[in-house]
A and B are shown apart, each in its own frame.
Chain A
Amino acid sequence: MSATLRKPAATSWRMSRDRFLDSRAIWPLLIGAAALYLLLFVGYPVVYNVVMSAQKVTLANLRFFNRPFVGLDNYRTLLDDPLFGLVLRNTLAFVAANVALQFLFGFGLALYFQLSFPASSFLRGLVLTGWMLPPLVIGAIWKWLLASDNGALNYLLQSLGLVSGKIYWLSDPSLSLIGVTIANIWFGVPFNMILLSAGLAGIPDDIYEAASLDGAGRVRRFLHLTLPLLRPTVYALLALSTIYTMRAFDLIYTMTHGGPLDSSNIFPLWSYRLSFELFNFGGGAAISTTMLVVVMAVAFFYVRSVRAERPQ
C-alpha cells in the first residue's frame, strides 16, 4: 500500500528534476561557478591592485582596508627613481629582441618542418618539448650552459676560436640581459613554431597549385600568398608572445635576479622586488597596474585578430 503511494511521488520528483535539468535555467548555473571564481580571484585582484597603487601600503597596515590614499604619489616616486630609465630601456630591448627573434626562428622552423619528409611532424613535436618544460628547469639548464667557468657555451666558442677569454654571460652588466635573452628565445621558439605551423597547414594546397600554374615562383608564392594568408595568425602570435615575455620573470629571477646592478631588471621583476623585498606594496602595485593596462591593450589586439581569423 505504502509502496504504491510512494511511487508516483518519486516519479514526479524525478520528472521535475529532469525538467529542471532540461530547462534553460541550467546555463547560468553551469557558467556561474567558473565566472564567480574568475571574478573573485582575477577580477577582484585586478581592481584591488589599482586601489593599492593609490595608497600608502606598509607591512603594518597590510591587513586592513582603510589605508591612507596618496593619489598618484606612488607613480610619481617611480618616475623619479633613477632606476626607471634603465628598467624601461631593459624592458623594451628585452621584449623587442625576444618577440622578433623568437618569431624569425619559429617561422624558419615552421617552414622547414612543413616540407614533406619522413618523421617531420614527430621531429617538430620533439622541438616543442622545450616549451613544455617548467621555466625554473630552463633557468637552471641555461645558467649552467652560460656559466663562465666550465660552461658549455664558453667552451664551444673558445674551441671554435671565436673568443679568447672567458665570457661572463650572467655576471657582466653589459652582457647579462643578452644572457637571459638567449635562454628566453630558446624557450619561446617552439611556441612560435607550432602556431605558425598550424597557420601554414590551414592554407589550402590548391591555392598554391593555381598560383604555380599561373607561373608564380617559390619566392613570389611566399610573398604574395603565404604571408598575406598568414597575417591573422602572425598578429595573434605577436600579441601573445609580447604578453608571454612577461613570464620571463621566472627565468630572469633564477638566472640573474635582475642583476648585476639591475642590468637585467625588467618591469615585472622590479614590481615584484618592490613588493616582496622592499615591502613597498604601493610601488609594486603601481608598476603592475601600468603593465596590466599595457597587457590588456595587447590582449585586445590579440582577441580581435583571433576573432577576425575565425571563419563565420
Chain B
Amino acid sequence: MSGQVAALARPAVAERSVSSRLRLRDIRPWLLCLGGVLIASVYLFPVYWMVVSALKGANELNASVPTLYPHAPTLTAFRWIFERENVGRYLENSAIISTSVTVLTLVLAIGCAYALARVRSFWMDALVVAIMASQVLPPPLLVTPMFVIFRQLGLVNTQLAVILATTTKTLPFAIIMLRTTFAQIPIELEEAARVDGCPRLGAFFRVTLPLARTGTIVVGALTFLFAYGEFVYPLSLVNRRDLQPGPVGLYSFVGADYSDWGNALAFATVFVAPVIVIFMLFQRRIVSGLTAGALK
C-alpha cells in the first residue's frame, strides 16, 4: 500500500520540482536584476544624499532624525551660494581652465598618438613605456618642484600655470588612449588615399581622424573631466580667490571648520552636475575607453 502511494507520489514530486526549477530559471534574471538595482542604489546613496541634503532647509538638515527625502524642499542654499558667495566665478574659472587643458592636450596628443600608432620601432616602444610611466606620477608628489619652477618663471598666481601643470596629468593619458584608437583604424584606408595622391598627413586628417571621431571626442571628454576635478595644482600655484576653480572653491566650504552643510552641498551639487551630464552622454564609450587606456 505504502509502496503504491510512493509510486504514485514520486512522479508528481518530480513533476513539481521540474516546473519550479523552470520557473526559477525564468525569474532568475529578474531576481539578479533586482539585486543589481539594489547594489547600485546602495552604492550611489552618497550622491543622492548630497542632492537631497542640499534641498533641505536648515531645520530639516540639522534634525536629529534625518528625513530620507526633503519634506519641504527649498532652493535657499542654492540662491545663497550664488548671491552671497559668488560661486559663479569659481565655475567660470573651472570652465576656462578645463577647456584650455582639453584643447592643449588634444593638440599635443593627436599627432603624437598617430605617429606612435603607425611607426613600429624599438624607440617608439621605449617612448610608449616612458609615457605610460609619466601617466602615473601623482600631482601631490610633483607639486613642490612645479611650484618652485613656476615661481622662477614668474607664472605663480596665473591660470596659465594651472593649465600647464594640469596638462602634464592629462597628456600622457590622452596619448595612450588615442594611440589605441588610431591603431584600430585600418592602415589600408590611408594607403588607398595616398595612392590617390593625398600625402600621408592629409590622409590622416581626411580619412583616419574622421573615422576615429567618436574615440577622440571621448578622450576629450575624459580630459575635460580630469582637469575639472584637479585640486592640488590650483590650490598651490594660485592663491588669488578670483582665479581659483571649483575644487578650491568647494574646499573653502568644507575644509577647516566651516559647518554650513546646506551651502557646501548645494555648491557640490552645482559643481558636479556637468560631470554627471557628460558621463551620462558618453557612458558606454567612456567605460570601454577607460579599460583600453589602462590596459593596452
**Residues of A with Cβ closer than 8 Å to B?**
17-23, 26-27, 29-31, 33-35, 37-38, 41-46, 48-49, 52, 57, 62-63, 65, 109, 112-113, 115-121, 123-130, 132-145, 147, 149-150, 152, 155, 186, 189, 191, 194-195, 197-199, 233, 236, 240, 243-244, 246-247, 249-250, 253-254, 257, 268-269, 271-272, 275-276, 281, 284-285, 288, 291-292, 295-296, 298-300, 302-303, 306-307, 309-310
A154 nearest CB across to chain B (Å):
10
How long is the Cα–Cα vector from A198 to B247 in the complex, in angstroms? 31
A22 CB contacts on chain B under 8 angstroms: 194, 199-201
Count of interface residues, chain B, beta-carbon cutoff 8 Å = 99
In the complex, the answer to whether B108 meets A144 with C-beta atoms within 8 Å is: no
Shortest B140–chain A CB gap in Å is 4
The reply on B131 being an interface residue by CB < 8 A is: yes
Question: Does B30 count as interface, using CB distance less than 8 angstroms?
Answer: yes
25 CB contacts below 8 A, A to B, read: A17-B199, A22-B194, A23-B200, A33-B111, A42-B168, A49-B145, A119-B33, A120-B36, A125-B283, A127-B39, A134-B231, A140-B265, A142-B46, A150-B63, A199-B295, A236-B295, A253-B255, A268-B141, A276-B236, A288-B140, A288-B145, A295-B136, A299-B132, A302-B136, A306-B132
Known: A247-B138, A276-B236. A141 touches B152 (CB 8 A): no
Chain A residues, CB < 8 A from B291: 194-195, 197-198
| Cβ < 8 Å to A, chain B residues 89-135 | 108-109, 111-112, 114-116, 118-119, 127, 129, 131-134
Bits for B279-296, please: 1 = Cβ < 8 Å to A, else 0: 100011011001100111
Which residue of chain A lies nearest to B230 when distances are taken between CB atoms in the complex? A134
Judge whether B112 and A31 touch: CB under 8 Å.
yes
List residues of B whose CB falls within 8 A of some A CB.
28-30, 32-33, 35-37, 39-40, 43-44, 46-47, 49-50, 53, 61-66, 108-109, 111-112, 114-116, 118-119, 127, 129, 131-134, 136-149, 151-152, 164-165, 167-168, 171-172, 175, 194, 197, 199-202, 225, 228-229, 231-232, 236, 246-247, 250-251, 253-256, 261, 264-265, 268, 271-272, 275-276, 279, 283-284, 286-287, 290-291, 294-296
Are B290 and A137 touching (Cβ within 8 A)?
no
Chain B hits for A199, CB < 8 A: 295
> Does A309 lie within 8 Å of B295, measured CB to CB?
yes
Main secondary structure, interface of B, reads: helix
User: B140 and A268: CB pair below 8 A?
Assistant: yes
Question: Known: A21-B201, A38-B168, A123-B37. Contact between A31 and B111, CB under 8 A?
Answer: yes
Interchain residue pairs A-B with the least CB separation, the first 7? A134-B229, A30-B111, A246-B138, A34-B112, A117-B32, A198-B291, A21-B199
Q: Which of B61, B112, B119 contacts A150 (CB 8 A)?
A: B61
Which among B112, B151, B225, B264 has the greatest number of chain A C-beta atoms within 10 A? Answer: B112
- Asked whether, in the complex, the Cβ of A240 is within 8 Å of the Cβ of B145, the reply is no
- With beta carbons under 8 angstroms apart, the residue of A118, A136, A198 that contacts B29 is A118
Residues of chain A with a CB closer than 8 A to B151's CB: 62-63
Closest to A24 in B: B119
* CB-based contact A31/B49 at 8 Å: no
Q: When the two chains form their complex, are residues A136 and B129 in contact, meaning their CB atoms are under 8 A apart? A: no
- Contact B140–A38 (Cβ < 8 Å): no
Nearest-CB residue, chain B, relative to A193: B43
Is B36 within 8 A of A119, CB to CB? yes
State how many angstroms separate the Cβ of A12 from the closest Cβ of chain B: 15
